[in-house]
A and B are shown apart, each in its own frame.
Chain A
Amino acid sequence: MHIQNAPLITLYILSLLLLTGCWDSVELEERAFIYGVAVDLANDSTKNDYQLRLTDQLVVPSGINTTSEGVTNQKAYRNLSKSGDNLFDINNKISKQENRTMFAEHLEVIIFSEEVVMQPDLFKKSLDVFTRTQDMRRGIKVAISKGKANALLEIVPEDVKLPSEYISTLLENQRSAEVSYPLRLGDLNEYLLMELSFVMPYLYILDDESIENDGVAVFNGKKGGIVGILNGTLTKGRNIITGDANSGTISISADDTKFTAELIDNKSKINLVNEKKNNLKFQLEVEVTGIISETADKNNPFTNSEAYEEELVKKISSLIKQTIEKAQNELQTDIFKINVYLRNHHYTLWESIKENWDTGENYFRQSDISVDVDVTIEHSGNTLYNSEKEGG
């Protein structure tokens, strides 16, 4: 080494020391990941001044990793909650109880209790923090709970260690037609910005170890709050109308026949046939494809599928009628995405009625929706007859 290079080498070594520093480095072990969040009304909130209660579910890594010895009894989560006016502020208060740095980047699910979403505009305001802060992703799932939302974060089934992970995968499971699609935060944000009405997944506690996802909560965009709950059966009707029922079952149980059809495909098409504001007429065409998966009927579904189809058309039509009636008369809220259809295909008309679509004048309520149902049975399973053979 030449001695005249010494200053240069010192500079290099110094810059090595200086440049490798990182302001933002936080070790993985020092991070506490928030996996689920529940938002409730605090006990001391009054009619005019709502106080929110936020519960964060933090992952406890040592509880997740099972040791070779077998089952550990340690909990895999830690729920912390505080009350206050603004969620971000409450979250900050919660951080005073936690020894690790809290990170929301892996947040999976946000649960709002019914009572929060029923208050006009409170929901909208409290959602802001989730779309505004940079560590939130727009793919976070949002759901509504019956009763207290934080109670859901305590439900641990046998096979999943984290309640919020359980809820998140539960929302994604779409085997039934009686539930809503998972509602992504980004989509929710879009609906709220456009003031459209929509439906949200509705969860309630079944017992200590299970939560059930059943029915939907109906959100009225203009009123800015939930106006009611649609039960599982009517949700199925709603999903068939919007063409979302691509799984699930329809079961017929009459005196002379008993069978279950499994839905495998569902399409729907809507058309505006009368454009007069006070007498809007919509023609709905609903196509349902199913397979017969269980029958107690004497007819064999393989050769007599028409009979089965007829029964299904009758059943679906009445279900749809019930659903439309409930939406128009009781909820008075457009849950069938007709608002989206009008905006996209009849923009000028939509602009003139959107302020009074499902509030005020309520053109939705006054409109006439007629439905055409078409059912196709694709196949009837592996067997021909039920044990009881015709005439046998």
Chain B
Amino acid sequence: MNKLELSYEAIHDRDILIAIPSMAIAIGILYMPRKLAQPTIGLDAVLSILLGGIIIILFTWLTVRLASKFPGQSFITYASKLASKPVAIGITLLFVLHGIFITSFEIRAISNISHLYLFDKTPIEIISFVFLLAVVYAVSGSRAAIFRLNALFLPFIIVAIIALALLSFRFTEINNALPVFQTNLDGYFVTTYRSMLTISGFGVLGYLLFYVPLIKSPTQTSKASIIGVLWVIASHLIVLIITILVFGNIATSNLIFPVIELARDIELPGEFFNRFDSLFFAIWIMAIFNTSAMSFDVAVLALQSLFKKVTKLKIVFILSPIIYFISSLPKNSYETGLSGRVIGYLGLGLSIGVTLLLFLLRMIRGVK
């Protein structure tokens, strides 16, 4: 790599701020209100999001703090220093797997949803194939370009969430917020756990271990990442509150994709935008695209650090069919959801576990 290319690939603190909501906001938020409404009563799940959010902020801060101590080094380099080479290789491979699985899951899930609501005759395989091609195109280019795409798409996503809240405001009913604080401890416990899962975007925040060292001068990275997670928490809060205020707790827990139902409820004046859901879908596909591209890219990045001689394009072209194959494994949407849950919990465990392990090792050994 020559000097010019290096500077081209460099990312900045602000990119991390944008990357965090871009990665974390994806499929999960579309059904999050159901998962959080089921074990709670009224709007009590707000507390769980706040609590889960604080825990995730804490872990993200740890992750970034750890990774920003090694600017310019790849994950495998600093992890080897901290935890021996074999362990570092093992962890890297696990992240490769996580990246592959998350990409497959996101691709399959968005294909399922598009098939369900947009094109009921178009085969799922075709939808996911076309979507994968777009992701491959993004990943095979420059890494900085993916970050720039994140920056390009994120405003749309934020606007979509705000529009969703504002436009469905007239359907809200204050009675749906009541009663307050009637959930039992068990309910809070389960939903806090689920909030952590969705706020961490199924563990994709762990990818920061790979991306943060790419920052040339990591001065404000911790602050930027905390702001990034705060954005994610805010979007979850807005979506949860508006969904429950419109549908009520019980109907929300009975809807498979409460957020899509909410978008479908909105009818705008005027012919073209009459159906808000089509607009919402278009924007949400951007959100899924960001997440898929980032998780695909992290798998590529991790493999690149393992096999330095193999070119990036080769890795991308080897991974693509694997991802396509895995994405076609679930038999139906139930199995897709189930696989997402499994990948999510494993990913969250992986991210938190690795961060804690390396952070503790660094404290004990004092590696610089």
A193 CB contacts on chain B under 8 angstroms: 250-251, 254
Q: Are B179 and A134 in contact (CB under 8 A)?
A: no
With beta carbons under 8 angstroms apart, the residue of A23, A138, A190 that contacts B119 is A23
Is A12's CB within 8 Å of the partner chain B?
Answer: no
Q: Across the interface, do B175 and A340 meet the contact criterion of CB distance under 8 Å?
A: yes
Given the complex of chains A and B, what is the CA–CA distance between A186 and B179 in angstroms?
20
Report the number of A-B residue pairs with Cβ-Cβ less than 8 Å. 50
The interface on chain B, measured as residues whose beta carbon lies within 8 A of the other chain's beta carbons, has a size of 24
CB within 8 Å for A189 and B121 given contacts A138-B264, A340-B175, A347-B41: no
User: Is A129 interfacial (CB-CB < 8 Å)?
Assistant: no
Instruction: Report Cα–Cα, A309/B117, bound state, in Å.
Output: 55
Interface pair A347/B267, CB less than 8 Å apart: no
Q: Is the CB of A347 within 8 A of B182?
A: yes
Given contacts A340-B175, A347-B179, contact A189 B251 (CB under 8 A): yes
Assess the A186–B251 pair: CB atoms within 8 A. yes
Give complex CA distance A269, B182 in Å: 23
Pick the most buried of A189, A194, A340, A344: most chain B CB atoms within 10 A of its CB. A344
Supposing A134-B116, A138-B265, A186-B247 touch, asked if A23 and B122 sit within 8 A by C-beta, the answer is yes
1/0 contact string of A337-351 vs chain B (CB within 8 Å):
000100111011000
Separation of A137 and B247 alpha carbons in the complex (Å):
13
Q: Decide if B9 is an interface residue (CB 8 Å cutoff).
A: no
Annotate A301-316 by CB proximity to B: 1 below 8 A, 0 otherwise: 0000000000000000
Q: A24-B119, A24-B121 are in contact. Are A138 and B261 (CB under 8 A)?
A: yes
| Chain A residues with a Cβ under 8 A of chain B | 22-24, 134, 137-139, 186, 189-190, 193-194, 340, 343-345, 347-348
Instruction: Determine if B248 is an interface residue (Cβ-Cβ < 8 Å).
Output: yes
Q: How far is the CA of A299 from the CA of B179 in the complex (A)?
A: 49
| CA–CA, A194 and B251, complex, Å | 8
* A65 vs chain B, min Cβ distance (A): 16
Residue B120 at the A interface, CB < 8 A?
yes
Q: B178 near A: Cβ within 8 Å? A: yes
Residues of B within 8 A of A348 (CB): 182
Among candidates A24, A139, A345, residue contacting B265 with C-beta atoms closer than 8 Å: A139
CB contacts under 8 Å to A, within B23-57, are: 41-42
* B41, B119, B126, B251: residue with the most chain A Cβ atoms closer than 10 Å: B251
Min C-beta distance of A366 to chain B, whole Å: 23
Given contacts A24-B119, A134-B117, A193-B254, contact A345 B247 (CB under 8 A): no
Q: Is the CB of B120 within 8 A of A345?
A: no
Most buried by A among B117, B175, B250: B250
Report, nearest first, the 9 A-B pairs whose CB atoms are least far apart: A344-B178, A23-B122, A23-B121, A347-B179, A24-B119, A190-B251, A347-B182, A24-B121, A193-B250
Q: How far is the CA of A24 from the CA of B117 in the complex (A)?
A: 11
Further contacts, 17 of them, CB under 8 A, given A23-B126, A138-B265 = A23-B119, A24-B119, A24-B121, A134-B116, A137-B264, A137-B265, A137-B267, A138-B264, A186-B251, A190-B248, A190-B251, A193-B254, A340-B175, A344-B178, A344-B179, A345-B178, A347-B179
Task: From A23, A138, A139, A345, give the contact of B179 (CB < 8 A).
Answer: A345
Interfacial chain A residues near B179, Cβ < 8 Å: 343-345, 347
Contacts of B117 in A (CB 8 A): 134
CB-CB < 8 A to B247: which residues of A?
Answer: 186, 190
User: CA–CA, A24 to B254, complex, Å?
Assistant: 29
In the assembled complex, the Cα of A348 lies from the Cα of B254 at a distance in Å of: 23
Q: State whether A194 touches B250 (Cβ < 8 A).
A: yes
Of all chain A residues, the one with the shortest Cβ separation from B267 is: A139
User: What residues of chain B lie closer than 8 Å to A347, measured between beta carbons?
Assistant: 41, 179, 182
Whole-angstrom CA separation of A312 from B41 in the bound complex: 41
| Residues in A whose Cβ lies below 8 Å from that of B123 | 23
Considering the chains assembled together, what is the distance between the CA atoms of A348 and B182 in angstroms? Answer: 8
Report Cα–Cα, A63/B251, bound state, in Å.
39
Query: Cα distance A24–B121 when bound, in Å?
Result: 5
CB distance from A300 to the nearest CB of B (A): 41
Distance between Cα atoms of A24 and B264 in the complex (Å)? 19
A275 to chain B, nearest CB (A): 15
- B157-209 interface with A by 8 A CB criterion: 175, 178-179, 182
Interface CB pairs A-B, < 8 A, 27:
A22-B122, A23-B121, A23-B123, A23-B126, A24-B119, A24-B121, A134-B120, A137-B265, A138-B261, A138-B264, A138-B265, A139-B265, A186-B251, A190-B247, A190-B248, A190-B251, A193-B251, A194-B248, A194-B250, A340-B175, A343-B178, A343-B179, A344-B178, A344-B179, A347-B179, A347-B182, A348-B182
In the complex, which residues of chain A have a beta carbon less than 8 angstroms from the beta carbon of B264? 137-138
> Chain A contacts of B119 at CB under 8 A?
22-24
> A343 — which chain B residues lie within 8 A by C-beta?
178-179
A134 neighbours in B (Cβ, 8 Å): 116-117, 120
CB distance from B24 to the nearest CB of A (A): 27
